Structure 1
Amino acid sequence: MDIQTNTGSDELSRHTVPYRILVLVAAVLPLVAVSAAPAVAGARPGDWPTWQGDLQGSRHNAAEHRITPATAAELKLKWAFAYPATGAPVKSQPAVVGGVVYFGGPDGKFYALDARTGRTRWTYDLNAGRAFVLDGPAVARGKVYFGDSRGYVYALDQHTGRLRWAKDTETHPAGLHTSSPLYYDGKIYIGASSGENTGDANTPCCTFRGHLDALDAETGELAWRYWTVPEPVQVGTWPSGAARWEPSGAGVWSSPVIDPATRTLYVGTGQNYTGSAGDFDSLLALDARTGAVRWKQQVTDADTWRSLCNEPDAEGYCPGLKDGSALDYDIGATPNLFRVGGRTIVGVGQKSGVYHAFDARTGRVEWRRQLGVPLPSGGISGIQWGSSYDGRRLYVATYFADPGTLFAVDPATGQVLWQTPNPADGCTTGGAARFPEVCTLAHTPAVTTSPGLVYEGSNDGKMRVYAAGTGDVLWEFDTIREFTGVNGRTGFGSAISGNGGAVVSGGMLYVQAGYYPFYPTEHGNVLLAFGL
């Protein structure tokens, strides 16, 4: 194998923090789409160069002509790549450009593999495993960009894995990147979130402020930053005596999209950790050049939540339990831009289970549709990481929604065109049947499409391909089993990973398996590659 291993500089170690994240858990003829090509610098039709698939967040590969409604049932496993057992979830959705797959592992390494064979091209070590890649990379202009669990953003040489630059973008020790970067016009756009609100009763809470950064793509220098909440101030103490700070939170968990016609950037935000202020649970429309606000829509009146809200005795630590505002109703999903009647609409799913559609220029509400049914545990019931638009329909999946369901929605009205629940036998067939205490019928991954097909995975460990016109299941693969990796390790599947979804490129389907709920195994999890 042609393996080149690169190691991060010693300077990066100064900001290492513990990894703490709460995991909450028919072909179609396009109508008027915003873009038919990736429109990402250096990408070719058929590539998947960025988490969103393109600038507008369609998560649709219009150039995929090998995997079709007629051939999808013939998909076979071509290779598996097995991770070492680390106990960390698999979160880095791959990018596929020029016949190479780029992704990060839960082992503190970043990989470039041959897309057809899985042969290692190069690896990059994020400071000896003291950091993790939580987002999906973006590939543009000869570089691979991604963030990590300490708040660093990296640019590696696309062909060699050599470090071009690495910047610590986070002033807070708990800051991190689950938001995947987007390249546009010489800048990298990436959001910042944190695990600060997962601390125990003795932890001072909270001082993290969500933000969206624009970085110079050549140097990594900060061009502008948009803070989502004001500067926190200490307002007293918690019952434990730990310092109490307000307001805080409103992390940017999801990835941004851009309308190149207006140079407007759209991104969603999360809930407050403490207090009630700032742009929590909001869709922001910002000037991509300056970060100035063009408009914003706050979709929840009040939402203050930290992990102690889930504890049996949260009195004094979760004021929202009394007034009903401890919701955890983030906008954790990436927006979709689409055209209706000559106008551009921006839509986004919320963890409340609502999909919101706004006029992209003014922010005026076009329609809203309740899809997921809210559960008492809050944000685990709704729309998690993202939806897809194929030029004809929107495709939206719900998470713990008793059961999670895949929807096709009319982009003009929000009318549900069809809906397919997570198959009822998902937990009684395949590998999941051995773990009834673990398995759930829920969809956490973002939805992906190609002409005539919809791709969505489940907590039952099964990856499925659906007919775009009807919602019928055309293909299913059970990942809860052992795999022999091309890298010499044994791996084991699990829930299909969130923080992203399936990637379709060049007649291949790439799926990460290794997410909550975790199926018992002594092995690490896997990246799986399927082809015809």
Structure 2
Amino acid sequence: MRVFRRIAAMATILPLLVVAADPAAAATRHRGDWPTWQGDTRGSRHNADERRINPATAGRLTLKWAFAYPETETPVKSQPAVVDGVIYFGGPDGRFYARDAKTGATRWTFTLTSVDPEAGDAVVLDGPAVAAGKVFFGDSRGYVYALDQRTGRVVWARDTEPHPMGWHTSSPLYYDGKIYIGASSAENTGGEDYPCCTFRGHLDAIDARTGELAWRYWTVPEPRQVGTWPSGAARFEPSGAGVWSSPVIDPATGTLYVGTGQNYTGSEGDFDSLLALDARSGAVRWKQQVTDSDTWRSLCNEPDAEGYCPGLKDGSALDYDIGATPNIIRLPGRTLVGVGQKSGVYHAFDARTGAVEWRRQLSVPWPSGGISGIQWGSSFDGHRLYVATYFADPGTLFALSPATGQVLWETPSPADGCTTGGAAAFPPGICAPAHTPAVTSTPGLVYEGSNDGKMRIYSAATGAILWEFDTIREFQGVNGLTGFGSAISGNGGAVVADGMLYVQSGYAPAYPSPYGNVLLAFGL
């Protein structure tokens, strides 16, 4: 096992900038900013300060600039952060970018191999957090970086992952001098000859100033060999329960909430669970396991995988991760924490005790592979909870009562989404009326994209579509490259800040082109 170590020893460390005493205020330094994947510490994905884009003006949004990535095999996944007029985002090309948020002009660019020349094909999969004068993000090797917000200079960079296949899809959250970030892996994609599996999901608290590990919470016990697979490869149990999503923290109680994924092998640990941990120490305050058994690896998709996917016989091969980030929901006299699951259920618990408050089934789960359900995250604007389903035939955007889970309105992904615009030019079977991205909201508006390549804005009151933009086309980037849109990207969602809307376009399913994907910036 590799040690948690310093990758780039810097001669000097930039002094920590003065931070507001309120940790929540430190994470949102400027009115109208979007400094972290969750939008704020509580996971609202709601920008209450956005006033220029509103129900009366949303229909007038136009494309202001595009940033084109070089062609890569990895789709674009890094949701941007916007702070003090600068947009920060990672690319599928091993680079991290800072650009002028209004014009797309270069501020600075950071290359992962500048820290470690052996980084190879490492890319940024998560979205950054900007706080305390630094930009924090992880990569596909399990490294976490802290860059100077103004210059892009490395302050510290650390390998946080003891497993060779571990990575960060979880985006970091800054709170009270620490960075909180989860770890997942691609180890469950190994074939029949792979000695599956030894990865253990974990949630790390890292000192934001130095990069030192403050505490780590493991989601499964240490794997042990329990025999062999039919191929003769060693078989280890338990494993998995990766933390794919990003954590949230309630500043009022100092409680951290995060969801976990399924077991790869065995049936132990905190799989498919919502964890409530003490943010200072990592101690468990409560946990809710929402699936009784869920052991899944990619071989479960194969028709003759019984010997490699024991859950096929007993129906426990589900892939029902909690891949979505939780929402802290303040109501009169009580606080709930809710989270969507790939089973299609949105769960709401008492934030203090973990007791179930309500559950709502929003899509019918597929028998194996939970891609019909809720993927990356939902939004809460203080009045309604906005939740989207993925391959749910069709994927649908819902508004729910936060107190009861009652459906207030629902708007399916439009039936003509695959037969109009750029998607219509491609063979049938590529496009689907499905919602991958996390949902975003601002006062009166909800933002959600689709696999048909169209970004849409909805009325928060009625669910009516107020604006639509087709991204499956060529774009000339401000960086001199030509790009091509695709499905609106998951791993995040739309970012709305200071009168601008930012969208990453380029996710599975891919619409083939000779160009890379694009970041698009819209304004009035």
Alignment TM-score, normalising by the size of structure 1: 0.93
8 Å Cα contact 1:38/1:49 also seen in 2: no
8 Å Cα contact 1:395/1:447 also seen in 2: yes
Give the paired residue count: 500
Residue in 1 aligned with 2:90? 104
8 Å Cα contact 1:131/1:150 also seen in 2: yes
8 Å Cα contact 2:69/2:91 also seen in 1: yes
8 Å Cα contact 1:39/1:54 also seen in 2: no
Shift of 1:38: 6.4
Map 1:166-245 to 2 at 5 A: 166-245=157-236
Alpha-carbon separation, structure 2, partners of 1:267 and 1:10: 26
Alpha-carbon separation, structure 1, partners of 2:275 and 2:6: 37
Cα shift readout 1:297-346 (whole Å, capped 9, x = no counterpart): 00000000000000121020000000000000000000000112311100
8 Å Cα contact 1:196/1:208 also seen in 2: yes
The answer to whether the aligner puts 1:71 opposite 2:71 as a matched pair is no
Residue in 1 aligned with 2:12? none
Residue in 1 aligned with 2:471? 479
8 Å Cα contact 2:6/2:158 also seen in 1: no
Alpha-carbon separation, structure 1, partners of 2:332 and 2:293: 34
> What's the Cα RMSD here?
1.3
User: What one-letter code is carried by the residue in structure 2 that aligns with 1:505?
Assistant: A
2:435 is aligned, of 432, 443, 448, to 443
The answer to whether the aligner puts 1:80 opposite 2:66 as a matched pair is yes
Alignment TM-score, normalising by the size of structure 2: 0.94
Shift of 1:370: 0.2
2:423 is aligned, of 432, 449, 457, to 432
Map 1:294-309 to 2 at 5 A: 294-309=285-300
2:30 is aligned, of 44, 59, 62, to 44
Map 1:250-399 to 2 at 5 A: 250-399=241-390
% same residue: 82
8 Å Cα contact 2:254/2:280 also seen in 1: yes
SS in 2 for 1:273: strand
SS in 1 for 2:265: coil
Residue in 1 aligned with 2:512? 520
8 Å Cα contact 2:27/2:40 also seen in 1: no
Residue in 2 aligned with 1:508? 500
Shift of 1:42: 5.8
Gaps of 5+ in 2: 9-22
User: What one-letter code is carried by the residue in structure 2 that aligns with 1:494?
Assistant: S
Shift of 1:216: 0.3
Alpha-carbon separation, structure 2, partners of 1:42 and 1:420: 31
Cα shift readout 1:122-174 (whole Å, capped 9, x = no counterpart): 00001165310000000001000000000000000000000000010000000
Shift of 1:175: 0.3
8 Å Cα contact 1:38/1:47 also seen in 2: no
8 Å Cα contact 1:187/1:214 also seen in 2: yes
Shift of 1:377: 3.8
Alpha-carbon separation, structure 1, partners of 2:330 and 2:38: 17
Deviates more, 1:187-196 or 1:42-51: 42-51
8 Å Cα contact 2:27/2:41 also seen in 1: no
Map 1:405-416 to 2 at 5 A: 405-416=396-407
Alpha-carbon separation, structure 2, partners of 1:367 and 1:42: 31
Alpha-carbon separation, structure 2, partners of 1:429 and 1:228: 45
Shift of 1:374: 0.8
Alpha-carbon separation, structure 2, partners of 1:41 and 1:402: 38
Residue in 2 aligned with 1:456? 448
8 Å Cα contact 2:444/2:461 also seen in 1: yes
User: What one-letter code is carried by the residue in structure 2 that aligns with 1:203?
Assistant: Y
Cα shift readout 1:19-57 (whole Å, capped 9, x = no counterpart): xxxxxxxxxxxxxxxxxx963446211000000000000
SS in 1 for 2:461: coil
8 Å Cα contact 1:42/1:141 also seen in 2: no
8 Å Cα contact 1:49/1:140 also seen in 2: yes
SS in 1 for 2:97: strand
Gaps of 5+ in 1: 1-8, 13-36
User: What one-letter code is carried by the residue in structure 1 that aligns with 2:332?
Assistant: G
Structure-2 change in CA distance of 1:353 and 1:428 (3 Å): same
Alpha-carbon separation, structure 2, partners of 1:38 and 1:439: 40
8 Å Cα contact 2:24/2:251 also seen in 1: no
SS in 1 for 2:423: helix
8 Å Cα contact 1:38/1:45 also seen in 2: no
2:123 is aligned, of 132, 138, 150, to 132
Deviates more, 1:121-130 or 1:82-91: 121-130
Alpha-carbon separation, structure 2, partners of 1:438 and 1:40: 43
8 Å Cα contact 2:256/2:279 also seen in 1: yes
SS in 2 for 1:60: coil
User: What one-letter code is carried by the residue in structure 1 that aligns with 2:420?
Assistant: T
Name segments (4+ residues, structure 1) moved above 2 Å: 9-12, 37-42
Alpha-carbon separation, structure 1, partners of 2:207 and 2:27: 15
Alpha-carbon separation, structure 1, partners of 2:31 and 2:162: 38
Residue in 1 aligned with 2:239? 248
Shift of 1:373: 1.4
Residue in 2 aligned with 1:24? none
Structure-2 change in CA distance of 1:10 and 1:395 (3 Å): closer
User: What one-letter code is carried by the residue in structure 1 that aligns with 2:52?
Assistant: R
